[in-house]
Amino acid sequence: MSNEAPIAPPPQARVARKQRTPRLIAIMISVMAGAWAGWQWWHTHQESTDDAQVEGHIINIAPRVAGEVIKVAVTDNQLVAAGDVLFALDDEEYKARVAAATADLAAAHAGAEASRAVLAMTERTAPAGLAQAQGGLASAVSSARSARAAVEQSRAEIAAAEARRNLAQITFDRTRRLVDQNAIPRAELDTQSSQLEAAIAAVAEAKARAASAEAAVAGSTGGVTFATGRLDAAQTTEQQFASARAAVQLADARHSQAEAALHLAELSLRYTVVRAPHAGVVSRRMVEVGQTVAPDRPLLAIVPQDDLWVIANFKEDQVAEIRPGQRVDLRFDAFGRRDFSGKVDSIAGATGARFALIPPDNATGNFVKVVQRIPVLIRLTCPCGVEFRPGMSAEVTVHTDSP
């Protein structure tokens, strides 16, 4: 082991080292200042948050009619297309309802046709009935006039017959006195007696004809009354038309009602087969064969994969410069450090707290200021080539200097 003392550096080296140290410090300060300035410049035009999730439509599927499940055609997480059968219900009752509604429609159709036939018959027979009633009244009036004329004629005949009877009576009395005086033969009295009897019979016959004529007048008066009533009834043609048209309208309304009932029955029958309204992934399936279901309970959900977006919840002091249409960079926890592109679609009209089930009430006196967050809707613009799922976490950076 050597006991020699260490050799000290020359004075020139110590001077050079002392001169180099300030330069290194200055360079380090400059680099740090440049890095800080670059960081400030970069982040001045960016707003970022890791409070972001993928969102999408979730379609809850419930039957539109009640019944027993007889078939389940899908499983959990199965991809279905629009119109694919999801499950089916027992349809026997709904088929019976369709049959009953079909029969009701046939009956309503027959009733409507019958009402139209009645209307057509009324339109043809009512004017003829009116003309017939008018003719009947005229005939009855003419018959009444003839009967009254016959009564007058009978009365005249009675007066003439009574005059002849009186003349025959006077002649018979004079003849009898002459016979009693033996002024004329008795045979003349027999002749006058026969003439008197004939005159009396003629009076009786005239009175009988008068009675018959008066009865005919009474009958013709009744006929006039009857014909007048028929005419009054026949003159209600417009009312008959209105009644027949109203019956047709009522029958048509019942026919339309029966058609609507049949349509509802057919819809109910169609609803026993539940189909996917949109393509997507079956989720949260809670339906089994034999289960009795009703429209008030969703049985499964379908999550479409063709319409997804990101909801980023920015702090309220970050949204001042955020505008719809600005460029967005996104990263998803599920895909590591891979970058995706998007754009700002819209900004919510209120903070997320305002949409809570029980919004906070700051007027209670125990106010504690909490930074609020405002949801921003972001649409993906890249051909991503990956499958997103609603609920995935994301990191979002909005470039506020982009147009």
Q: What's the confidence (pLDDT) of residue 274?
A: 96
Alpha-carbon span 183 to 102, nearest angstrom: 111
pLDDT band with cut points at 50, 70 and 90 for residue 7: low
Structure confidence at residue 187 (pLDDT): 73
398, β-bridge pairs: 47, 328
Question: How far, in Å, are 205, 211, 285, 363 from residue 367 at the CA level?
Answer: 129, 119, 44, 7
Closest-CA residue to 289 (of 40, 5, 66, 71): 71
pLDDT of residue 92: 94
What pTM was estimated for this model as a whole? 0.61
Q: What value does the mean pLDDT of the chain take?
A: 81
Residue 302 pLDDT greater than 80, yes or no: yes
Q: Is the pLDDT of residue 329 over 50?
A: yes
Q: What is the pLDDT of residues 111-133, one digit of tens each?
A: 988 888 887 877 666 665 556 65
- Is residue 341 a contact partner of residue 395, using CB atoms and an 8 Å limit? no
Whole-number Å distance between alpha carbons of 130 and 127? 5
Q: Which pLDDT belongs to residue 127? A: 61
Domain residue ranges of the chain, discontinuous segments joined by +: 48-58+301-399, 60-90+270-297, 95-261
CATH architecture of 48-58+301-399: Beta Barrel (2.40)
In eight-state DSSP terms, residue 258 is: H
pLDDT band at 65 (very low <50, low <70, confident <90, very high): very high
Return the minimum-mean-pLDDT range out of 79-93, 235-249, 252-266.
235-249
pLDDT at 8: 53
1: confidence class by pLDDT, cuts 50, 70, 90: very low
Report whether pLDDT(242) > 80. Answer: no
Per-residue pLDDT tens over the stretch 179-218? 777 767 777 766 777 777 777 777 787 777 777 766 766 6
Mean pLDDT across 229-254: 74
Q: Is the pLDDT of residue 277 over 80?
A: yes
CA angle 161/164/167 to nearest 5° reads: 150
Architecture of domain 60-90+270-297: Beta Barrel (2.40)
Cα separation values, 180 from 168, 187, 192, Å = 18, 12, 14
CATH of domain 95-261: 1.10.287
Question: In the prediction, which pLDDT does 94 show?
Answer: 94
Residues 281-290, mean pLDDT to the nearest whole number: 94
Q: Which has more confidence, 370 or 142?
A: 370
Return the pLDDT at 361.
72
pLDDT tens figures, 356-388: 888 777 776 677 788 899 999 999 988 778 888
pLDDT-derived band at 300 (thresholds 50, 70, 90) equals very high
With residue 176 as reference, give the H or E element that holds it. Answer: helix 92-180
Q: Which residue in 255, 263, 257, 252 sits closest to 97, CA to CA?
A: 263
Angle at 113 between CA 107 and CA 119, to 5 degrees: 140
